Amino acid sequence: MAISISLQCLVLVILAAILLQTIAVAVSFMYFNKVLNTMQESFSRSSVSCLMNANPHSAFQDSAAEEKKSDPCWQVTQQLHYHIEKAMADRFQKEISKAMRNKLTGVLPVLGPGVRGVPLPKVAAHVTAVVSSAEPPAAAEGSRINKGYLGERIASWEGRRGLSFLQNMELRGGELLVSRVGLYYIYAQTYFRLPSTGETEGDAKGETVETKEEEAQLVQYIYKKMSSYTVPILLMKSSRSACWPRGQEPGLFSLHQAGTAYLQPADRLFITVSNASTMAMDGRASYFGAFLVG
């Protein structure tokens, strides 16, 4: 009988100890959870206050700059402002570069090196057509086969006067000489003036005299010449079919093309066209050029 009473007392003591331990753990958990929430709230308020009241340039204006550098809040805000400014600057640079590459083609024909506020690429050229009495606008038709290119080469270009300019590039014999290696944006436009067939003497007598073909094939080529390769390499071409005008007014047509190519120093660029005799040597309508983009 005494043994059973002792066992019951032992069980009751064990249960009481377990209950007290459980209550102590629960109270400790609730206490530390409350303290942790209070610390988090205090830290959040202090962090927001730190960010809102921080001046990223105060280190250069305050006499106690050395003391601020040891402040963790100041260090965090300085790093945050640095990364934000760097990200914005990188994005701005990319957007500007993309916009310049998209718009520079339309701007170059009306720019000159003396225009203020408009920076030109470091390597660029824009040459315009010019009528030259010393040499014909294009090479002879028969020479194109031996030289390995199609069309008739345009040799009369202006590189220094008017709307044209040369910046770290040279113009030699109608060719643009590349000075630096890199990716270049190349463009060209040629303007054609097809004369009207009019009324011939045979037409007045009722006879049929064929003076012109029904269609004229207008083609523009952009070639690259390399010092290590004798035959010019065709980079781009543009073409269209135009009917010879039958009225009194001439037919006016233009070809434009542009693209990118990787060029080496001493590479040369030149333009050839079909029907070179009908090309209008107007500097605002016939031109070509290139500029370094990367």
Q: What's the confidence (pLDDT) of residue 53?
A: 56
Question: Are residues 127 and 49 part of one domain?
Answer: no
Question: Are residues 254 and 132 part of one domain?
Answer: yes
The whole domain housing 43 covers: 2-53
Question: Are residues 284 and 151 part of one domain?
Answer: yes
Question: Are residues 133 and 24 part of one domain?
Answer: no
Q: How far apart are CA 294 and CA 175, in angstroms?
A: 22
Question: Are residues 163 and 43 part of one domain?
Answer: no
Structural domain includes residue 278? yes
Question: Are residues 40 and 163 part of one domain?
Answer: no
Provide mean pLDDT across the span 22-43: 78
Q: What are the φ/ψ torsions at residue 54 (nearest 5 degrees)?
A: -80, 140
- pLDDT tens for residues 148-160? 899 999 988 999 8
Task: Give me the percent of the chain exceeding a pLDDT of 90.
Answer: 29
DSSP-assigned beta bridge partners for residue 289: 126, 187
Structural domain includes residue 147? yes
Q: What's the confidence (pLDDT) of residue 246?
A: 74
Domain count, the chain: 2
pTM above 0.85, yes or no: no
Question: Are residues 162 and 23 part of one domain?
Answer: no
Q: Is the pLDDT of residue 198 over 70?
A: no
Structural domain includes residue 75? no
Question: Are residues 142 and 20 part of one domain?
Answer: no
Rg of the chain over all Cα atoms, to the nearest angstrom:
40
What is the pLDDT confidence band of residue 105, given thresholds at 50, 70 and 90?
A: very low
Closest CA to 190 of 214, 162, 166, 156: 156
What would the two tokens of residue 106 be? 């339309």
What is the pLDDT confidence band of residue 133, given thresholds at 50, 70 and 90?
A: low
Q: Is the pLDDT of residue 202 over 50?
A: no
Question: Are residues 150 and 252 part of one domain?
Answer: yes
Burial class (CB in 10 A: 0-12, 13-18, 19+), 76: middle
Structural domain includes residue 68? no
Q: Is the pLDDT of residue 217 over 90?
A: no
Task: Give me the percent of the chain exceeding a pLDDT of 70.
Answer: 62
What is the pLDDT confidence band of residue 45, given thresholds at 50, 70 and 90?
A: low
Provide mean pLDDT across the span 166-172: 94
Q: Is the pLDDT of residue 215 over 50?
A: yes
Structural domain includes residue 66? no
Question: Are residues 168 and 47 part of one domain?
Answer: no
Q: Is the pLDDT of residue 260 over 80?
A: yes
The residue with tokens 């069309």 is: 151
Mean pLDDT over each residue of the chain, to the nearest integer: 74
